[in-house]
């Protein structure tokens, strides 16, 4: 079809569709999966269950914020799992079930997340260690610190306020956590689209050399991205503490790989510089829906793993196209 003959609105629509093809396709997949879920189980699309799915998705979605920022710079963050667990365990210890401890607990946990995230970034920029192993090492460090301070048996409770945030609803049926996720999402999408920092993230990921030569302060951008990822991870850990009330040492384990999967399924390129958070939202929802469907179907562990793997494979075949050599 000759694009010149198209009228302006059609062309604009076509441009919009092709720019956002991945995201749109993913939301279609979400619709299809929801339909399938509704067929498998009657209450699947009830308001309560959709709320529950979105609540679960919020945790992964918030973690995926940090992962998206880092993958955009061409890095990767394998420390999110341990940092989530640290946030989860420490926030319960700090709060000890008392509302009076809230202000300093939130501040302290946020600082810890920022600090370990920044440590990742500093190692990547100044020690010149590749992100994958640097974050792996920091992850090990964080796991150790969490175990040492909790003596391997986490104590403490989420405060009533955090508990309310974790399980409460706004307007009757919208979980507060989902509102927080939505707010964070809006902030990140704006950050990426409108600020210098957001643009620099893309530049760093697309071409480090060019970015450096055109005066982008690469260490600052990189360290900030990793610090934000640390903050996002502790936020997720804290919200999980609100949801489950007590801490659990294994809580972050699956999130490292899931967050990467959510970002990649959302169309952000692992080589950096391409993508955005809107796709990660869709990727998150797809993954959580999939797990929810497998749970509703009472799939045993072995079958679940197989199904998860196959679905991710099918998903990437749907929209990844082999780059042409010429």
Partner 1 sequence: MTERQRNLRLYVPVYAISLVIYLAACFVEPTFFTWNNNVNLFTRVTPLVLVGIAQTYVILTGGIDLSIGATVGLATVIAASLPFVDTPSNVLLWLLIPPSIGLAVGLLNGLVITRGGFPPLIVTLATGAVWKGVSLFILAEPGGSVSSGVATFVTGTLFGFLPVPLVVLLLSVLVFHLILKRTAFGRSIYAIGGNERVAYESGIPCDRVKVWVYGLSGLIGGLVGMFLSARMSSGDPLVGEPYILNSIAVTVIAGTSLAGGRGGIIGIIGGAYIFDLLNNILNLLAISTFYQYVAKGLVLIIALAITSGGAELRPGRLLRKGRRKELQEENG
Site residues, partner 1 (CB under 8 A): 74-75, 78, 123-134, 136-145, 147-148, 152, 204, 208-209, 212-213, 218-219, 222, 257, 260-261, 264-265, 269-270, 301-310, 312-313, 316-317, 320-323, 325
Closer CB to partner 1, 111 or 313, in the complex? 313
Residues 6+ apart with CB under 8 A from 286: 26, 29, 30, 33, 262, 265, 315
Among the listed residues 95, 113, 202, the one whose alpha carbon sits nearest the alpha carbon of residue 157: 95
Closer CB to partner 1, 7 or 317, in the complex? 317
Radius of gyration of the chain (CA): 20
Shortest gap between Cβ of 129 and partner 1 (angstroms)?
Answer: 4
Shortest gap between Cβ of 145 and partner 1 (angstroms)?
Answer: 6
User: Exposed, middle or buried by CB within 10 Å (0-12, 13-18, 19+), for 232?
Assistant: buried
Closer CB to partner 1, 3 or 322, in the complex? 322
Among the listed residues 246, 231, 255, 253, the one whose alpha carbon sits nearest the alpha carbon of residue 88: 246
Shortest gap between Cβ of 12 and partner 1 (angstroms)?
Answer: 29
Closer CB to partner 1, 160 or 219, in the complex? 219
Structure tokens at 39: 């067929």
Closer CB to partner 1, 136 or 288, in the complex? 136
Residues 6+ apart with CB under 8 A from 253: 81, 85
3-class state of residue 170 by DSSP:
strand
Shortest gap between Cβ of 315 and partner 1 (angstroms)?
Answer: 9
Shortest gap between Cβ of 157 and partner 1 (angstroms)?
Answer: 22
């Amino acid at each position: 079809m000759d694009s010149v003959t198209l009228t302006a609105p059609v062309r604009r629509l076509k441009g919009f569709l092709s720019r956002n093809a991945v995201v749109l396709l993913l939301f279609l997949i979400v619709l299809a999966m929801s339909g399938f879920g509704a067929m498998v189980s009657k209450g699947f699309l009830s308001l309560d269950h959709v709320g529950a799915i979105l609540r679960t998705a919020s945790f992964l979605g918030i973690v995926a914020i940090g992962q998206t920022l880092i993958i955009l710079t061409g890095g990767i963050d394998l420390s999110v799992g341990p940092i989530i667990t640290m946030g989860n365990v420490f926030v319960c210890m700090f709060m000890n079930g008392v509302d009076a401890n809230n202000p300093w607990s939130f501040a302290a946990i946020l600082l810890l997340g920022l600090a370990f995230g920044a440590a990742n970034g500093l190692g990547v920029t100044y020690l010149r260690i590749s992100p994958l192993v640097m974050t792996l090492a920091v992850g090990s460090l964080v796991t150790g610190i969490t175990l040492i301070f909790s003596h391997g048996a986490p104590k403490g409770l989420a405060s009533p306020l955090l508990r309310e945030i974790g399980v409460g609803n706004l307007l009757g049926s919208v979980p507060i956590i989902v509102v927080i996720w939505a707010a964070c999402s809006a902030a990140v999408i704006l950050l990426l689209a409108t600020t210098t920092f957001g643009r620099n993230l893309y530049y760093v990921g697309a071409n480090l050399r060019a970015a450096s030569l055109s005066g982008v302060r690469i260490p600052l951008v990189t360290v900030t991205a990793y610090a934000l990822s640390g903050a996002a991870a502790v936020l997720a850990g804290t919200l999980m503490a609100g949801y489950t009330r007590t801490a659990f040492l294994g809580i972050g384990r699956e999130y490292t790989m899931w967050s990467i999967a959510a970002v990649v399924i959302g169309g952000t390129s692992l080589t950096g510089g391409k993508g955005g958070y809107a796709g990660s939202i869709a990727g998150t929802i797809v993954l959580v829906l999939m797990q929810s469907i497998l749970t509703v179907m009472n799939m045993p562990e072995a079958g679940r793993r197989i199904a998860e793997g196959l679905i991710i494979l099918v998903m990437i075949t749907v929209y990844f196209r082999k780059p042409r050599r010429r």
